Structure 1
Amino acid sequence: MVKFMFKSFILCSVLLFGVLIGMQQANQGMIKMKGYNDPDFQGAFQIDSDQTGDIEASILGNEVTSQDLQKKQEQLEQIEAFNIFSQLGKQLANIVSNGVSSLLKMITEVMDG
C-alpha cells in the first residue's frame, strides 16, 4: 500500500510539473506570436530575488510564502486531529482484521483436529 501511494505521489508530482512547464511554454509561444513582450503576460512559475536576498515564488500569479505554507500545514494538522471518520475506519479495520484472523484460526484448528 505504501509503495502504491509513493508511486502515485511521484506520478502526480511529475504530471503537475509537466503541466507547469507546458503553461510556461505556451506563454513563451504567445509572446513570440505577438511579436513583443506584453507585461500582462506572466509566466506560470516565477522565482524572483529581492535586494535583501529573500526569494519570492509565484505560481499562476499567486505568491507563495513560507507563512502561507505554515498556515496550510496547521490547517491540515487540525483537520487530521478532528477527523472522526478516519478513527472510525481504523476501528472498523481492526475489528474486521481480528475477526478474519480468529475465523482462520478456528478453521485451521478444525482441519488439524
Structure 2
Amino acid sequence: MKKFMLKSFVAAALMFISVLTGMELANNGIHKMKGYNDPNFQNAVSIHENDKDFQATFLGKNISSHDLEAKKKKLEEMNAFNFFSSMGKKMSEGMTNASEKLIQKITE
C-alpha cells in the first residue's frame, strides 16, 4: 500500500511539473512566433483604475464603467425575461413554503 501511494504521489507530481513546463514553453513559443520583440505586445486583459472610474482593455478594445452602466440600463429597459431565473424563484418559494408547513406540523 505504501509503495502504491508513493508511486501515485510521484506520478501526480511529475504530471503537475509537466503541465507547468508545457505552459512555460507555450508562452515562449507565442513570443517567438512573432519573430521580433514587440514592446507593444499587450496582454489579453488589462485594467487601469482611477479614483471613481476604471478602464479595462479586453483584446484591444477599451471598456469603461460608463459602457457597462449603459449596457445595464439597456437590459433593465428591455425587461429581459429569464425563464430559468423565474423557475428558480418559483422552486425556492415552493421549497420555503413546504419546509415552513413541515416545521409547523412537527412543532404542533
Does TM, normalized by the shorter one, top 0.5?
no
Q: Structure 2 length normalisation: TM-score?
A: 0.41
The structure with higher relative contact order (CA 8 Å, sep 6+) is 1
